[in-house]
Amino acid sequence: MGCPHPAFVSSRYYLDRIDESIVDVPPYEADLHPVMKYMSATKGCLGPFTDDEIRAIRRTYFAMVSEVDEMLGELVATYDRLGLADNTYIVFSSDHGEMNMEHRQQLKNAMYEASVRVPLMVSGPDVVSDRSVDEVVSLVDLYPTFMDMAGLPHPDDLAGVSLMPELQGGSADRPDAVLSQYHGNFANTGEFMIRRGAHKYIGYTGYEPQLFDLDKDPDEIHNLANEQPDLAAEMDTALRVLVDYEAVDAKVKAYDRASYVAWREETGEPAYEEAMAEILPGWGDREREKTEAWLASG
């Protein structure tokens, strides 16, 4: 389903459901982290925005969410009408969030809550209703959960832990931290995040880390990495237990270079030049030199 998803377009029917007066303008840090500054530039989000423009963008996204909400309601109503509610699980989640002009960014790709935190709502025949669980869980937990819902055995060495104990009102022995990572065209280096309780730590190869206390700073404006070096070091160690992020980043970048070279050789001249001129406005000698320097850096 393409909603909510780029291109961000909604109808007057759903826009009218969103009270414009309560659409807020998120705070914006004065000094962007270098990786986030690069990301904002690649997304075309570094330019100035008026408050009205920001509210209009956010309202459109909220309208699209309202549309999804209505679709889900129709689905649930159909299950009830068909008498399937007593033997059917409904799991509502997503693969990623949407920045929606938080930190003046669109799309996903960042490790801020707006991007990495997703909805997770479950109903079913043996699921406790009207219960909210505050445990930090991950999308990798869904696979063993689905297996349990279907009554199927699953390997004990899975990365994820079934959510069924919590869904049934109990608790589970699960890791106290979750991991997220991103490697893509919107970032100039790999992003590796560990979330443990209220604390979030983001490691960037070649750049300073970010550390946030989400209880005290839910907007993730105040980077605590330099103010609390002991906690930052502890979180970095915990992250490295899960992933050798510098080694992974080096492997990804080597793959990127090799793939680029293979594509350039396969494309050939002048098709390569034509493609780069279309992909990168202003493609010229300066960009060619930077590209060759990037390839040589590996």
Distance CA 163, CA 172 (A): 8
Element (H, E) at 165: helix 164-167
The model's pLDDT over 158-170, given as tens digits with 9 standing for 90+, comes to 889 999 999 999 9
The model's pLDDT over 194-223, given as tens digits with 9 standing for 90+, comes to 999 999 999 999 999 999 999 999 999 999
Please report the pLDDT score of residue 156 as a whole number. 80
What percentage of the chain reaches a pLDDT higher than 90?
Answer: 85
- Where residue 124 falls among pLDDT bands split at 50, 70, 90? very high
Please report the pLDDT score of residue 218 as a whole number. 97
- List all residues 6 or more positions away from 129 whose beta carbon is below 8 Å from its beta carbon: 123
What percentage of the chain reaches a pLDDT higher than 70?
Answer: 100
Q: Would you state the structure tokens that stand for residue 192, as one six-digit string? A: 């590796």
Mean pLDDT value across residues 121-142: 92
Tell me if residue 226 falls in helix, strand or coil.
Answer: coil
Please report the pLDDT score of residue 228 as a whole number. 98
Residue with tokens 């209703």: 129
Q: How far from 259 is each of 143, 208, 256, CA to CA, in Å?
A: 31, 28, 5
The model's pLDDT over 222-263, given as tens digits with 9 standing for 90+, comes to 999 999 999 999 999 999 999 999 999 999 999 999 999 999
Please report the pLDDT score of residue 143 as a whole number. 95
CATH class, range 176-245: alpha beta
Distance CA 138, CA 160 (A): 7
**Torsion angles phi and psi, residue 139, rounded to 5:** -60, -25
Q: Would you state the structure tokens that stand for residue 25, as one six-digit string? A: 């303008």
Element (H, E) at 194: strand 191-196
- Where residue 3 falls among pLDDT bands split at 50, 70, 90? confident
Write down the H helix ranges in 82-160: 113-116, 142-149
**Start and end residues for every CATH 3.30.1120.10 domain found in the chain:** 176-245
Distance CA 232, CA 203 (A): 10
Q: How far from 82 is each of 14, 72, 78, 193, 255, CA to CA, in Å?
A: 28, 15, 6, 43, 50
Query: 178 near 164, Cβ under 8 Å?
Result: no
Distance CA 96, CA 116 (A): 6
Tell me if residue 239 falls in helix, strand or coil.
Answer: helix
The total number of residues written for the chain in this structure: 298
Q: How far from 86 is each of 89, 90, 102, CA to CA, in Å?
A: 9, 11, 40
**Cβ atoms < 10 Å from Cβ of 265:** 9
Query: 177 near 242, Cβ under 8 Å?
Result: yes
- Where residue 2 falls among pLDDT bands split at 50, 70, 90? confident
Tell me if residue 68 falls in helix, strand or coil.
Answer: helix
Distance CA 181, CA 187 (A): 11
- Where residue 1 falls among pLDDT bands split at 50, 70, 90? low
Query: 4 near 98, Cβ under 8 Å?
Result: yes
pLDDT at 106 over 80: yes
Q: Would you state the structure tokens that stand for residue 38, as one six-digit string? A: 């690069």
Please report the pLDDT score of residue 77 as a whole number. 93
